[in-house]
Amino acid sequence: MNTYKLKLGHGEALEKDKKIISDAAKKENWPYNWLWYDRVNGTLEMSLAIPYMNYGAMAPPEIKFSKLLAKHLDSPKKAKKVLQRWSSHFDEISYNIYILREDLSM
């Protein structure tokens, strides 16, 4: 799970870019499932969860997302601008890997 700490004042712009990214993933048949998760806990955090069946499934895809976005927008230059803008919305980005342990689950 990726956790993004949002900069103050970037909420509206973030939502616009999140829609562009999500629409591209949907329309271009990005091969992964994902979930955006906004926390309501006093911190400006958002998470992106992408489930995998195992570590091998975490290998990079054949087509990078930046190329998929460029195809969707009909322009590598536009895709680069979207991704640069996306990165500018955050003070910090971190990630964690969670493992389902059936032997520890009910």
**Which of these, 17, 10, 15, lies nearest to 44 by C-alpha position?**
10
pTM for this model (two decimals): 0.84
**H or E element at residue 91:** strand 90-95
Structure tokens at 84: 């640069």
Report d(CA 15, CA 36) in Å as an integer. Answer: 11
pLDDT, residue 41, reads: 73
Report d(CA 14, CA 27) in Å as an integer. Answer: 20
Residue pLDDT, tens place only, 18-71: 999 999 999 999 988 999 988 777 778 999 999 998 899 988 888 899 999 999
Beta strand 90-95 with 2-6 is: antiparallel
